[in-house]
Amino acid sequence: MKAQDLGTAAPNTWCPGCGNFAILNAIKPVLAELDGAGLVPKENVVVVTGIGCHGKIADYLQVNSFYAIHGRAIPVATGIKLADPDLTVICFAGDGDAYAEGLDHLIFAAKRNVDVTTIVHDNRVYGLTTGQYTPTSPSGFAGRSTPEGLEVSPINPLEMVFASGGTFIARGYSNRIDLLKETIREAILHRGFSFVDVLQVCATFFNMYDLYNRRTYALEEHDPQDVVQAQAKMVEWDYNSDGPMPLGIFHRRAAPTFGDNFEKFNSKIPDLEGKVRRVLKGYI
């Protein structure tokens, strides 16, 4: 299978120059490669999206997919993975989706180490609704809901997921597609909750290409298992300084997954399924 075999006939409605194209063009060859290598068969892949411009990626990928409601891609993905642990579940969410409406789900997925991959299209603006600020919009951002400029600093998603117990934490940039591909590939192969925040430029409502081209750099000689190093790199973020913004895998460690713990819990209750069925019988 080739990357182009994963495309669909759906007309693409993203704006010219949108960073979403890069994420689509990164995931396709990765899925083709993993399928070809026998690591992740295409039929076992399920994509779950939230609501926003990013969500259309489900229309453009020839794999199983599910449109969730706003902010709820992660709990849907969690349910799919628990129902069939053989599936490889990949969540796509926007920054409004993952860091505002769905923030609690992100934190709990990291804390529980749910074995799904979450890729956040972090364009730092609500693009589909034409330019309101999100939790990652930088201070000073002037949009439709803050015409005089935003006066608060953005959250740092990587630090937040790290503090929640995330076992794979990475950042990509839509203008560094080779690095993005490599990062997404590693995220999919990680056993446990893998989180990739992608600096996905919204060319129409918040064009950050110049700034990111100037400030981003790839992590080198970085040990993702060294938590002190990982934290030191995560704090290199956009608090209105003109400092560097690292890209790549910041943190990675092995830990039991939510599915492992769920199995253990189930095994302590003999005939759990039968008990649930008997209870439900009274209602259906």
Residues 6+ apart with CB under 8 A from 264: none
Nearer to ligand SF4, 56 or 181 (CB): 56
Told to check if 203 binds ligand SF4 by CB under 6 A, we report yes
If 0-12 CB within 10 Å is exposed, 13-18 middle and 19+ buried, where does residue 111 land?
middle
- Chain centroid to Cα 163, Å, comes to 17
Nearer to ligand SF4, 23 or 77 (CB): 23
Told to check if 137 binds ligand SF4 by CB under 6 A, we report no
**Least spacing, CB of residue 145 vs ligand SF4, in Å:** 15
Nearer to ligand SF4, 53 or 68 (CB): 53
**Least spacing, CB of residue 199 vs ligand SF4, in Å:** 12
Integer Cα distance of 111 and 56 in angstroms? 28
**Least spacing, CB of residue 106 vs ligand SF4, in Å:** 20
| Stretch 106-125 residues interacting with ligand SF4 (CB under 6 A) | 123
Please report where in the chains the tokens 């330019």 appear, as a residue.
Answer: 131
- Which two three-digit tokens encode residue 256? 């039991």
Residue among 50, 55, 75, 127 that touches ligand SF4 (CB under 6 A): 127
Q: What is the size of the binding site for ligand SF4 (CB under 6 A)?
A: 12
Task: Give CA separation, 55 vs 36, 92, 120, in Å.
Answer: 26, 7, 11
Task: Give CA separation, 138 vs 134, 158, 190, in Å.
Answer: 9, 15, 31
Residue among 27, 51, 202, 249 that touches ligand SF4 (CB under 6 A): 202
Please report which residue ranges of 93-236 form alpha helices under DSSP H. Answer: 95-96, 103-112, 157-163, 177-189, 209-215, 227-234
Nearer to ligand SF4, 15 or 272 (CB): 15
Per the document, the length of the chain is 284
| Stretch 3-32 residues interacting with ligand SF4 (CB under 6 A) | 14-15, 18, 20
Told to check if 53 binds ligand SF4 by CB under 6 A, we report yes
Nearer to ligand SF4, 17 or 41 (CB): 17
| List of residues contacting ligand SF4 (CB under 6 A) | 14-15, 18, 20, 53, 123, 127-128, 202-205
